[in-house]
A and B are shown apart, each in its own frame.
Chain A
């Protein structure tokens, strides 16, 4: 149909198209610069006004000017033409300019195709379930506009229904393609380097305040699903980078790490925990395994600090299978490790020495000294807080003797420092501790708020032993998570048990929350994280292990689905009247065997009379059948019994 006629007769087709485009672009609000976002919506709004006041639409020259503006906007972002951000912006500007110039049906198609690309670009930023559902709905709306364009008498709601039906029917084939289409990783040269978004998370150095910054973040770091038993909360230490070098304030990884070949093999005993880690995208290639990992597969490797490192791109979600033993003995200490673990930023002050002296650090065995020190933290007026006062100079001393308010990093660094003063090899370990258990999905969720720092001490015959000084001052920190709202207020954390009433009130909410988290977990695991590796694993478990078989399966499945759909769509429903006619035809065929064929123009009654004359012995049956047929086909009232009778008589009729 001519576009002008279509638009004049049904302006709501364009309203429909413009609204769905507005919806598709909207989630980009957080991904693209405000200037481009505003540019797009101003043009969209302009186009809307143009629906009622076509005179307000820009002419040729104004359009050219707008185009120049768009290009200038893109240029001012210094992003080039390729890559995720630049590409998205380019398509958005192109779409907004094209909106101002709708002349033919072809333009409408071009606009909807551009809108599909913009919809796909949303997935490059966000891949959660809600976004997927949202995009699915707006895609239905876009397809509905195409239905409207191709209808004689467009009705948006009927079109929306048609489009949704098509999408629902398309889903099975899409799922088959998703599962079976061979996935190949894009070659390296094709990867377009975008500036990495800075992500919060543990870093490879620790300053007194660094971990407390994470303390308020609810962001998910990884999830763990245990194959069997779960370790008790007090053993859930997820090992991250080990920091052995300090300048008195800042802790970093020691420069000299070339001692791996001299190290003893750790011995494991006790309970064995097998689990699957699903790491969220982050910017470091660390994998936080339960202290201490022993079995792991490619692409994982364990470094000299017993930390797992992945060679895969950490920017993608990845799944790893790991086995850990919380009970271990790392054996002897190498010379380099010893040097690293006893390194001091300078001579300790008199106050520190006095404290160690007072706790008998120089005279009793290390185990005893540790116990004394932890007791010291517990008995003296030490407090645990996320918002400790600023300690610019000598943070360890200030913390130990003056402020006495600190977070895990303060306790860990002070503890390790005092150990080293007493000449005991010690180092800071960072990582995560605890995690929230999701009862619906049976997995642990570890968030940034679970970031933690603890100490590790080398003891004769025991190897590296974990000591958590924070547990001494706030054992509840280890046992359960604390309330983030309370932390945000900057108050000193009290681990007072929550009252039962509040618990029951929030239980329902919590369950709903956990259910959602479980759905999200499975979504991440099975949809977002489905890659060539998962695919081959999953398919070979079904017995499909080569690409040829995969192709056969794909074609076979699509064939079956298409056959079912064509049957559903193209089947001609037999109406009741047709059935009656069919049965009557059977009766006629029986008569035709005796050479009594009904003429095309011959009425049923005339035919019956003619046949009766030829077959007088059957005249009553012929009369009955003809009467009931006329009643069924042309009569106003016919009962189901009549039909039954009719079927019966025709069946029994013999010539």
Chain B
């Protein structure tokens, strides 16, 4: 068995890369909080040596006492700084899919079960946020990570740190939450008309116009477009109903990958993404076709998210 090189082993220690967090609240305990002096802390050590020199040269007991007191304060601050993080529990909150180029927000919930307020907690993903968490209190923070490409985006490690109370030490804990978010393709900027769908021969007994004719009401089901909700009935307190339109597939829009024009796959996907969004905004039913995938015409949040997901992972 070959041992990994020392450097690899050192660099793969959780000190550097952080610890993998699970779904359970991540509690900052003595194993997970690291501490080192800051630059100001090293400055304080220089101050201590200077004071010690003064006490030594003048053989002055009170100067000695002051030096020892400050050295002791320096030492005790280690405990206080660790305490400013100790016992906090962090939990990952909900994340929402974003379009490429947008910043993905990850919500973290921080719970302080202790009796002391945490005056100064800095939590960093790409940019830092300062928090103050009262005793027995909770705080939520949204950290942003910029996305570039469609697909699954994995945010890096989150660092929780504090220099409270004196700024001489910095206690921190690197955590690798499973901060994963789906990134949809960036919608094309340029508006382009929907693709022409080949007219389907009207079947017997159905009017051509009937495609948008009101057909009846049906109890709301998840995924129904908001635009089809019968708001008047809802306002009367009768419940949530969706309006159903007859006509079916006669004039259904088909958003097809092959009908997009673009130089590259990404451009085509962007175009397709734009169409999905536009179609959803207008509130028409649309079918979705990607090589190897065909979604029957529908509309609503569920349908659009299925389409976008397919686009993201294509």
Contact = CB atoms under 8 A, between A and B. Distances in A.
B65, B87, B167 — which one has the most chain A CB atoms within 10 A of its CB? B65
B47 A116 contact: yes
Given A109-B43, A117-B47, A153-B119, A565 B76 contact: yes
B113 interface: yes
B221 to A, nearest CB: 26
Given A109-B43, A528-B62, A570-B83, A116 B165 contact: no
B73 A170 contact: yes
Interface residues of B, number: 50
Contacts of A166: 73, 76-77, 80, 165-166
Interface string B123-143: 000000011100000000000
Given A135-B66, A570-B82, A572-B113, A124 B60 contact: yes
A127 B309 CA distance: 76
A153 B132 contact: yes
Contacts, number: 153
Interface in B136-171: 163-168
A608 interface: no
Interface string A507-530: 000000000000000000001111
Contacts of B87: 572
A151 B165 CA distance: 7
A528 B40 CA distance: 31
Contacts of A131: 62
A15 interface: no
A145 B114 CA distance: 25
Contacts of B30: 570
B63 interface: yes
A98 B313 CA distance: 59
Nearest to A565: B79
A109 B42 CA distance: 12
A123 B69 CA distance: 14
A527 B166 contact: no
A123 B43 contact: no
Nearest to A106: B40
Contacts of B131: 152
A195 B67 CA distance: 26
Contacts of A184: 56
A150 B132 CA distance: 11
A132 B62 contact: yes
SS class, residues of chain A in contact with chain B: helix
B166 A150 contact: yes
A92 interface: no
Contacts of B114: 572-573
A565 B75 CA distance: 11
A412 interface: no
B35 interface: no
B76 A173 contact: yes
B68 A178 contact: yes
23 contacts: A105-B167, A113-B43, A119-B66, A120-B54, A120-B66, A123-B60, A123-B62, A123-B63, A132-B62, A132-B65, A139-B66, A149-B167, A150-B166, A151-B132, A166-B166, A170-B72, A173-B75, A178-B65, A178-B68, A186-B58, A531-B61, A565-B76, A570-B82
A-B pairs, top 3 by smallest CB distance, nearest first, are A170-B72, A123-B62, A173-B72
Given A117-B47, A570-B30, 15 more contacts: A1-B130, A110-B43, A116-B47, A123-B62, A135-B62, A147-B164, A150-B120, A151-B164, A166-B76, A166-B77, A166-B165, A171-B69, A173-B72, A177-B68, A569-B79
